[in-house]
Every structure is written in structure tokens, then in C-alpha cells.
Amino acid sequence: MMSAVERHGPYFTREPNHTNDFSNSTGAVIYCSANGNPMPSIRWETKDAIVVNEISGVRHIRHDNSLVFPPFRAEDYRQDIHSNIYQCIASNSVGTIRSRYVQVRAVNECEEEVDE
């Protein structure tokens, strides 16, 4: 007797936290993973539904679909990247699911005061 492989929509095996505050000296990794049959593809979007792409040295997506913000110099801070709301989306031919929104906030560590 043969059993048919059951197809089912994606489900999160690791959903990102609601907030992620980090310093520019440490950077951050935001994890997201999902399963399903067929295996879902994962993408990241901003709250404004803009697909997240890699920006060299600023933001990238690892092979395990984690969203990575590497450490950066204070002068390289970008509000549109380092202070934004992101969402992980998993989809396959059966369906699509969206994670909770993730508020990302980077703070510059060791900001120096300038005497005038």
C-alpha cells in the first residue's frame, strides 16, 4: 500500500522576535525559518512591502534565511535600514504566511560629544 505525500502550507519553526535593539558595534542577526511541503521559500520585506535586498556591508540574508545587520561605523548609520520594521514571509504552492512585524533599532555606541 502506497501512501501519498501530503502537501501542506508553510509553518514557522522559528519566528523572529517582535523587537530587536542592537548597537552598531555588535550588529544583529534576526532568525526566521519555516517548514512545509513543498519546502517554502523565505523572503524579507519592510512594513511598506518593499522586498529586502542585500546591501554590501550593511544588510544581507544568510543561507539559513536569517536577516543580518553587520557591525558598522557610526557614520554609516542609515535610518531606512537600521531603524525600520521588517517581516519574514514564507510561501510555497499551498500557501503563504507572514511573521509578526519586527522593529529593528540600531543605536550608535560610544557617540562622542564635540566641544564647540
The domain 8-105 having CATH identifier 2.60.40.10: the answer here is yes
pLDDT at 108: 87
Digit-coded pLDDT (tens) for 44-66: 999 999 999 999 999 999 999 99
Q: Which residues of the chain have pLDDT under 50?
A: 113-116
Which segments of the chain are extended strands (E)? 8-14, 19-23, 28-30, 33-37, 41-46, 60-61, 67-69, 83-91, 96-98, 102-107
CA angle 45, 51, 57 (to 5 degrees): 95
Name the grid cell of 51: 522586498
pLDDT at 112: 52
pLDDT at 5: 82
pLDDT at 113: 47
Hey, what amino acid is at 73? R
Q: How many CB atoms lie within 10 A of CB 65?
A: 19
* 3 state SS of 93: coil
Domain ranges of the chain: 8-105
pLDDT at 109: 78
